[in-house]
C-alpha cells in the first residue's frame, strides 16, 4: 500500500512542477516577496524562544528592570514584526490568488475554444472539464502556499531542533519519529478522498444540473405547467443525500486520522518534556531552559502538525492539478494543415464526394456515401425527415468534424487543406438553435463579423435584410437594448431571436451562406416578408438552405430530398412535384394542412 502511494505521489510531481511554473508566470515578483516574508515568519519562533530563555534566566539571577528590559523589548519587537509580516502576507496572497485564478481561467478558456466539437461528444470529457473548472483554478496557488508553509515550518522546526540538540541530540529525532506515521496516514486518507471525488464526478455534475434547472428561467414554464418542480427537487435531494453521506464519511475518517496523528506526535513531545523536567529538578538545567524547551516543544509540535497538514494539502493539490493538466493536454482531433490553401471565396462549386460520417460514439452513420454539389451563386435547398443527416452537412462544411470517408471539395481543393480561419470567415451560418447572447442588440448582430462591430450602418442594414428592423425599433433603446431580463434588458420571442441570428449571419461578408431552418420560428406573415428579401440576401453568394417548410424550399434553384444520410430525389420545385415521389407527397400533405388551417 505504501509503495503504491509513493508511486502515485511520484507520478504527480511533473504536474506540480508545471503548476509552480504557472504560478510564477502569473505572479512573478509577488511570489518572491511572498517567499521572503515566509522565511522571516519561519525564523521568528526561534528568536522568540531564545529571547524568552534569556529573559527568564536574567530575571531569576538579577530581577531588575534594566537587566530584563532588552530581552522584553526584543520579544515585543519580534511580536510587532510578526504582526506586520502576517498582514503583508495576507495582502500578497490576495494578489497572488487573483492573478493565478485569472491565468488558470485564461488557460481553460483558450483550451475550450481550441477543442473541436468531438470533445463534447464523449461523456468523460464533461467529467474532465468539470474537474478542471471546479477544482483546478485554486489548486496551483494552494500548492504554492502549501509548499511555502512546508518550507516555513520546516525552517522553523530546524531552527528549534538545533536549539534542542544543545540539550540532547535525540530530542528532535524523537519528534520526527512520532510524526512520520501520521504523515503516512494522512497521505493514505488524501488519496482515498481524491479517488472518491473522481468516482463521483458524474453525481456532482448531476447535482449542479438539477440545481440549475430548478432555478432556470427557461424551464420555469414547463415546471409549472407539468408540476415538475417537486419531482426535480426530490431528485436533487436524493443525489445530495448520497453525496452528503459520502463527504461526511470522508470527513469523519479524516478527523479520526488527524486525531491519531496528532496524539502520536504529542506523545513524543510529552516524552521529551518529561525528560527536560527531570533534568531541571536534578539541577542540570535552569528554569529558563525548562521554559525554552516547553516553548520549543510547543512550537515544534505546532510546526510538525502544520507539516503533516501541509504535506496532505500538497498531495491533494497535486492530484487535482493533474485534472487540469489532463484537460490542457487534450488535443483537438481536427488540425489545420501547416500550409493551408486559400480555397475561398468560391469560384466554381462546393462538392461532397462520397462522404460517409458517423458521430463519435454513434451507432449509425449520419451520412452514407453522400454526394452533393453547391454551384457558385446558386441556392440549394435540402429537405427531409428529422435525423436524415441534414444538419450534419453544416458541421462538416465548417469543418467541426472530418468525414470518415470521402472528401469535401471547395473548387477542387480538399477542405482539410484549407486554412481554418480563412474557411470560417467565408462561411456564414444561421444555426437551427442559435445562441442568445445576453448583451445589446448591436453586439448580438455585430458578432457575425467582429471587424464591423462599430459599423452602425452595416449592422442596421443586416437587421433590415433579416426582417428584424421593425422588432428592434420597437425596443426602448433600439440597437443599444440589452437582450436579457437577467441584466435589466428586454426579452424577445423565439421568432424575433431567430431574425436577430439571421441578421448576424447576413452581416458576414461570406461567399457561402448556410441557413438551417431559417423560418422555423416565424409565423406565416413574417415568413412571407423574409422570403421577399431572400434573393437580395443571397445575391452574389452560394447558399445552402436546410428546411422542413416546402414553402421556403421552393424558392431555391435546386432542391434535394434526403433520407437516411443519402439524397433520394433532386430537381426544382416544379420538377419534384411532377415526379410524384416523396417530395410531391409531402408537398401535398403540407398544402392540405395549410388549407385546413385557413378554414
> pTM of the entire structure?
0.70
Separation between Cα atoms, residue 444 and residue 504, nearest integer Å: 7
Mean pLDDT of the 254-262 span: 81
Q: How many other β-carbons are positioned within 10 Å of the β-carbon of residue 598?
A: 7
Q: Would you give the DSSP letter of residue 316?
A: H
DSSP states of 533-579: HHHHHHTTSEEEEE-S-HHHHTTSSEEEEEETTEEEEEE-HHHHHHH
And the C-alpha cell for 14?
511533473
Topology classification of domain 427-509: Rossmann fold (3.40.50)
Homologous superfamily, domain 341-392+403-417+519-599: P-loop containing nucleotide triphosphate hydrolases (3.40.50.300)
Kindly indicate the confidence band of residue 339, based on its pLDDT and cuts at 50, 70 and 90.
Answer: very low
Separation between Cα atoms, residue 315 and residue 191, nearest integer Å: 8
DSSP states of 386-416: TTSSHHHHHHHHTTSS--SEEEEEETTEEGG
Count of alpha carbons within 13 angstroms of residue 208, beta-carbon side? 11
**CATH entry 1.20.1730.10 includes domain 2-329:** no
pLDDT tens readout for residues 267-308? 777 777 777 777 777 777 777 777 777 777 777 766 766 766
Q: Cα 208 from chain centroid?
A: 14
Three-class SS string for 223-240? HHHCCCHHHHHHHHHHHH
What per-residue confidence (pLDDT) applies to 338?
46
Indicate the domain borders of the chain: 2-329, 341-392+403-417+519-599, 427-509
SS3 510: coil
pLDDT at 183 over 80: no
pLDDT at 6 over 70: no
- Say if residue 284 is exposed, middle or buried (CB neighbours under 10 Å; 0-12, 13-18, 19+): exposed
- Say if residue 355 is exposed, middle or buried (CB neighbours under 10 Å; 0-12, 13-18, 19+): buried
SS3 375: strand
pLDDT tens readout for residues 371-411? 988 888 888 999 887 776 788 888 888 888 889 899 998 88
Q: How many other β-carbons are positioned within 10 Å of the β-carbon of residue 26?
A: 21
pLDDT at 442 over 90: yes
Given phi > 0 = left and psi -120 to 50 = alpha, else beta, which region is 385? beta
What per-residue confidence (pLDDT) applies to 54?
73
Rg (CA), the chain: 35
Separation between Cα atoms, residue 110 and residue 126, nearest integer Å: 16
Tell me, yes or no, if the two domains 2-329 and 427-509 fold the same way: no
- Name the residue with higher pLDDT: 574 or 589: 574
Percentage of the chain exceeding pLDDT 90: 5
Q: Which residues contact 359 (CB under 8 A, 6 or more apart)?
A: 121, 366, 392, 401
Q: Taking a C-beta distance cutoff of 8 angstroms, is the pair 429, 516 a contact? A: yes
pLDDT tens readout for residues 126-145? 777 777 777 666 677 677 77
Amino acid at each position: 500500500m505504501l509503495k503504491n502511494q509513493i508511486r502515485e505521489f511520484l507520478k504527480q510531481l511533473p504536474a506540480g512542477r508545471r503548476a509552480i511554473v504557472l504560478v510564477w508566470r502569473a505572479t512573478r515578483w509577488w511570489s518572491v516577496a511572498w517567499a521572503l516574508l515566509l522565511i522571516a515568519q519561519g525564523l521568528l519562533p526561534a528568536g522568540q524562544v531564545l529571547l524568552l530563555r534569556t529573559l527568564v534566566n536574567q530575571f531569576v539571577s538579577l530581577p531588575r528592570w534594566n537587566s530584563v528590559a532588552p530581552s522584553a523589548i526584543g520579544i515585543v519587537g519580534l511580536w510587532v514584526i510578526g504582526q506586520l509580516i502576517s498582514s503583508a502576507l495576507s495582502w500578497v496572497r490576495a494578489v497572488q490568488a487573483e492573478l493565478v485564478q485569472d491565468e488558470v481561467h485564461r488557460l481553460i478558456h483558450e483550451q475550450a475554444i481550441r477543442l473541436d466539437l468531438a470533445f463534447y461528444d464523449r461523456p468523460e470529457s464533461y467529467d474532465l472539464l468539470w474537474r478542471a473548472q471546479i477544482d483546478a483554478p485554486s489548486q496551483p496557488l494552494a500548492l504554492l502556499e502549501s509548499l511555502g508553509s512546508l518550507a516555513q515550518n520546516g525552517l522553523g522546526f530546524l531552527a528549534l531542533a538545533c536549539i534542542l540538540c544543545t540539550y540532547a541530540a535525540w530530542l528532535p529525532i524523537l519528534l520526527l519519529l512520532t510524526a512520520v506515521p501520521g504523515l503516512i496516514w494522512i497521505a493514505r486518507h488524501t488519496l482515498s478522498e481524491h479517488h472518491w471525488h473522481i468516482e463521483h464526478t458524474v453525481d456532482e455534475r448531476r447535482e449542479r444540473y438539477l440545481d440549475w434547472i430548478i432555478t432556470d428561467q427557461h424551464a420555469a414554464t414547463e415546471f409549472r405547467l407539468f408540476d415538475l418542480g417537486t419531482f426535480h427537487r426530490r431528485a436533487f435531494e436524493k443525489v445530495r443525500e448520497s453525496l452528503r453521506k459520502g463527504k461526511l464519511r470522508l470527513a469523519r475518517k479524516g478527523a479520526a486520522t488527524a486525531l491519531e496523528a496528532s496524539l502520536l506526535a504529542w506523545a513524543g513531545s510529552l516524552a521529551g518534556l518529561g525528560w527536560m523536567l527531570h533534568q531541571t529538578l536534578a539541577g542540570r538545567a535552569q528554569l529558563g531552559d525548562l521554559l525554552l524547551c516547553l516553548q520549543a516543544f510547543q512550537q515544534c509540535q505546532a510546526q510538525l502538525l502544520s507539516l503533516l497538514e501541509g504535506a496532505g494539502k500538497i498531495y491533494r493539490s497535486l492530484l487535482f492539478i493533474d485534472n487540469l493538466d489532463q484537460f490542457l493536454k487534450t488535443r483537438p482531433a481536427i488540425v489545420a494543415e501547416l500550409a493551408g490553401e486559400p480555397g475561398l471565396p468560391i469560384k466554381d462549386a462546393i462538392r461532397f464526394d462520397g462522404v460517409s460520417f458517423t458521430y463519435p460514439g454513434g451507432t449509425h452513420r449520419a451520412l452514407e456515401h453522400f454526394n452533393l454539389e453547391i454551384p457558385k451563386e446558386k441556392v440549394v435547398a435540402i429537405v427531409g425527415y428529422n435525423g436524415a443527416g441534414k444538419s450534419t452537412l453544416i458541421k462538416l462544411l465548417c469543418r467541426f468534424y472530418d468525414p470518415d470517408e470521402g472528401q469535401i471539395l471547395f473548387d477542387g481543393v480538399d477542405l482539410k487543406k484549407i486554412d481554418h480561419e480563412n474557411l470560417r470567415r467565408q462561411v456564414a451560418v444561421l444555426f437551427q438553435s442559435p445562441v442568445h447572447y445576453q448583451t445589446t442588440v448591436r453586439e448580438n448582430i455585430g458578432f457575425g463579423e467582429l471587424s464591423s462591430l462599430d459599423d452602425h450602418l452595416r449592422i442596421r442594414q443586416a437587421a433590415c435584410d433579416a426582417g428584424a428592423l421593425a422588432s428592434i425599433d420597437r425596443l426602448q433603446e433600439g440597437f443599444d437594448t440589452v437582450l436579457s431580463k437577467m441584466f435589466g434588458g428586454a426579452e424577445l420571442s423565439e421568432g424575433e431571436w431567430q431574425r436577430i441570428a439571421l441578421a448576424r449571419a447576413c452581416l458576414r461578408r461570406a461567399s457561402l451562406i448556410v441557413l438551417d431552418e431559417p423560418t422555423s420560428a416565424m409565423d406565416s406573415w413574417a415568413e412571407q416578408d423574409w422570403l421577399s428579401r431572400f434573393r437580395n440576401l443571397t445575391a452574389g453568394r452560394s447558399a445552402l438552405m436546410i428546411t422542413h417548410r416546402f414553402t421556403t424550399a421552393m424558392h431555391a434553384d435546386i432542391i434535394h430530398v434526403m433520407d437516411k444520410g443519402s439524397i433520394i430525389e433532386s430537381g426544382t420545385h416544379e420538377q419534384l412535384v411532377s415526379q410524384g415521389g416523396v417530395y410531391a407527397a409531402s408537398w401535398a400533405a403540407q398544402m392540405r394542412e395549410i388549407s385546413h388551417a385557413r378554414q
